Amino acid sequence: MTTKSAAAATQSTLYGYPRQGADRELKKAVEGYWKGRVTAEALRTTAVGLRRTTWRQQAAAGITEVPTGDFSYYDHVLDTTVMVGAIPERHRAAVAADPLDGYFAMARGTQDVAPLEMTKWFDTNYHYLVPELGPDTVFAADSSQQVAALREALALGLDARSVLVGPVTYLLLAKPAPGVAADFDPLTLLDRLLPVYAEVLADLRAAGADWAQLDEPALVQDRTPAELNAATRAYRDLGGLTDRPKLLVASYFDRLGDALPVLAKAPVEGLALDFTDRAAANLDALAAAGGLPGKRLVAGVVNGRNIWVNDLAASLTTLGTLLGLADRVDVSASCSLLHVPLDAAAEREIDPQILRWLAFARQKTAEVVTLAKGLSQGTGAITAELAANRADLASRARSPITHDPAVRARAAAVTASDTRRPQPYDERSAAQHAALRLPLLPSTTIGSFPQTAELRTARADLRAGRIDTAGYEERIRSEIQEVIAFQEKTGLDVLVHGEPERNDMVQYFAEQLTGYLATRHGWVQSYGTRYVRPPVLAGDISRPAPMTVRWTAYARSLTTKPVKGMLTGPVTMLAWSFVRDDQPLADTARQVALALRDEVNDLEAAGTSVIQVDEPALRETLPLRAADHGAYLDWATEAFRLTTAGVRPETQIHTHMCYAEFGDVVQAIDDLDADVISLEAARSHMQVARELAAHGYPREAGPGVYDIHSPRVPSAHEAAELLRTGLRAIPAERLWVNPDCGLKTRGWPETRAALENLVAAARTVRAELTTP
């Protein structure tokens, strides 16, 4: 283990690490606390143990400066809201009465109080809780969590650096609080917020901090002169403090652009920059800005978002160039390792040859340490590591998994006519209305129903051999019967089979497509206690056999109402997987789209008249810079149309999106040419309905009226009010009634109550519209 007394000349460090533990101990402890099975003290004990285990593992691997403050019970942006005292008015009493329960109430809501809005963290699949601010917001420092974590690490004898969300990014991520004018700019609160950060930094310094990291990823996006000026003022003021640690300002996910010279000139002691993928342009920009004389540069050369082994030789070349641009160059991953699984060595079922291509958090940590050693001691000190790395890269490049001539030939033969439905929307709409005969304000759900403990047990029993396939399939049939019967009794108009056979909306399909690999332990946090196992898209993609037709057909046999076929779209299949980085994303998307097109056509041939192709990741995958939007949206929307364009005009194509800022992609939503789109809208109070109306969106839409990421059950009155709000933007003949998202994470009692209220709301508003 490396301690303070043995720090190397070139430091190896990280910005953050997976929080959950090797066996998802954090998820189990938090959910146990919510259910009353785990005490607050036991939860805190679990958290302390996880933090200490993580720091000791990092130090044992050779990390010379460990990060603190990256751990969170739910979300690090919510932690920042607590740190600066920006508690929404409706949650203040709960936080004052019990800070832990109040914290979780802000994240999840209660039956009486709505949670904070949740959206995607830049272009990742991590979700954060959006700060709510207004002109009357009063900030107050509470550094207790950050100070406690720092002291824990220092007590272990480690060099530690506190990591905080920076003040500019925090304000740029915020939204006007409910009741505040929509044009209120939270950045106007900067001068009010900076003294709070100054107090937190002084507290950290008093606790023993030598360095503090302030993350400013929002500065890699296109920023106005006023926003750049705010960054200049923020770091002029914070840098000018005398009672503070040394400051390291970090950015990641893309190139800094105009913000780079702003930060380079700031009176701070160091910058942490991303030099991978799109952010590789930071290298030339840093040189053009004159480098960082007299300052520390933490170089993010190991990609913190993918799971492929690093090209060590190429990274060393980059690091060698950087040596001439800063007083001191240290090595890190490009961003927090929160976005990758914990340990590839735990994957016993992946072919050992392929496993050599993969690097999860522990492997990336080792790569960072190896590169730091090579930079400080020369390549002769890492000869064996370089040779092994060259062999791993060559193995992947020549593998038949990555090159299927038939798949490539089919993708190359795609023409423009393959990506457009022959009939215009008006003609399709008339045919669909005649075929489906749905009422005004038709109601439906997004796809999944609760994944009960019994379902998860059945799936585990099947894997373990405790039940056979016949027994498992009987359990699935029984669940589908229950879901269909409930929907019919409740009065929903377009039904779903509930997806009981699906472990995950991406993994389920990945396991049936060639070119994908599934992991057993590759969990990644999506939000709170929701963890997913993104599959690994390693090679060329094709569909050997139908994937969903059988269970959809069985559900249809149980009812006379329409039952939606449910698929995950090509962009989301990429965004929620760890995608190969050895060919353009557009090429991979086309391969996936062709495989899904075959499934869509088979569903239609089997009699499915409504087919939903979910694309919740369309917005989150949007590049952070506007200059890159066009190329991405061109191939992304084409891939969706390639998936869906082969159906007849009377077959209704739906799509779904959730938990993102949709205003930036309204034209792309239009370009998908879906007949119906359902979108998250409950937490944002129908904002997306207004955005669709402003764009002149011509098709049918279902802005959600039930926030499924909260345990609270909306009343029929509340849902009806949201519908009435939606009707002010979308005509009744084009408005659908649905939840925000799938119901997989909810329990049956709340699902029944919420959907009954949803249908009641639809009937109430429908009657208002049709009564003379």
Please indicate whether residue 629 is annotated as part of the active site: no
Alpha carbon distance 575, 594 (integer Å):
17
CA distances from 628 to 3, 26, 621, 654 (A): 43, 37, 11, 27
Q: Which helix (H) or strand (E) holds 257?
A: none
Alpha carbon distance 684, 110 (integer Å):
17
Nearest Cα to Cα of residue 263 among 284, 252, 248, 283: 248
CA distances from 532 to 7, 126, 231 (A): 36, 10, 35
Using DSSP bridges, classify how beta strands 211-215 and 66-68 pair: parallel, antiparallel or unpaired.
unpaired
Alpha carbon distance 717, 720 (integer Å):
5
Catalytic residue among 91, 339, 656, 709: 709
Q: Which residues contact 621 (CB under 8 A, 6 or more apart)?
A: 123, 571, 574, 575, 632, 636
**Across the chain, how many H-helices and E-strands are there?**
28, 21
Distance of CA 729 to the CA centre of its chain: 29
Nearest Cα to Cα of residue 619 among 639, 633, 638, 634: 633
Q: Which residues pair with 215 in a beta bridge?
A: 165, 250
Distance of CA 145 to the CA centre of its chain: 25
Alpha carbon distance 109, 92 (integer Å):
13
CA atoms within 13 A on the CB side of 708: 28
Q: Which residues contact 273 (CB under 8 A, 6 or more apart)?
A: 250, 251, 252, 256, 279, 282, 286, 297, 298, 299, 300
Alpha carbon distance 167, 182 (integer Å):
21
Q: Which residues pair with 176 in a beta bridge?
A: 133
Amino acid 301 reads V
Alpha carbon distance 279, 260 (integer Å):
12
Q: Which residues pair with 128 in a beta bridge?
A: 119
Query: 3-state DSSP call for residue 424?
Result: coil
Alpha carbon distance 442, 123 (integer Å):
33
Alpha carbon distance 305, 544 (integer Å):
30
Tokens read off for 101: 């329960």
What residues are labeled active site? Answer: 709
